[in-house]
Amino acid sequence: MTKNNTIRWGILGAGKIARAFATDFQYLQQAELVAVASRSPEKSAQFASAFSIPETCDYAGLYNHPQLDAIYIATPHNFHFEQAAQAMRAGKAVLCEKPVTVHPGQYQQLVALAKQQQVFLMEAMWTYFIPALAEAKNWVTEGRIGELKRIQADFCFPSGPEVERLWNPALAGGSLLDIGIYPIAFANYFMHQKPQRIQASARLSSTGVDECTGIHLEYSGTSANLYSSIVSKGTNTGYLFGSNGYIKLPSFWRSTAIELYNNEDELIDCFSDGRTTRGFHFEMQHVTDCLLQGLSESPVMSFEESMRIQEIMWEVRQQIGLHFPLE
- Summarised one tens digit per residue, pLDDT across range 67-99 is 999 999 999 999 999 999 999 999 999 999 999
pLDDT tens digits, residue range 134-192? 999 999 999 999 999 999 999 999 998 888 999 999 999 999 999 999 999 999 999 99
pLDDT band at residue 327 using 50, 70 and 90 as cut-offs: confident
User: What is the Cα–Cα distance from 96 to 124, expressed in whole angstroms?
Assistant: 5
pLDDT, mean of residues 245-263: 98
pTM of the full predicted structure? 0.96
Domains of the chain: 7-126+280-298 (3.40.50.720), 128-275+310-320 (3.30.360.10)
Sign for the pseudo-dihedral over CA of 317, 321, 323, 327:
positive
What's the distance, CA 163 to chain centroid? Answer: 19
CA distances from 67 to 61, 71, 308, 314, 325 (A): 11, 11, 34, 37, 37
Do 233 and 157 meet the contact criterion of CB atoms below 8 Å apart? yes
Calculate what percentage of the chain has a pLDDT beyond 90.
Answer: 96
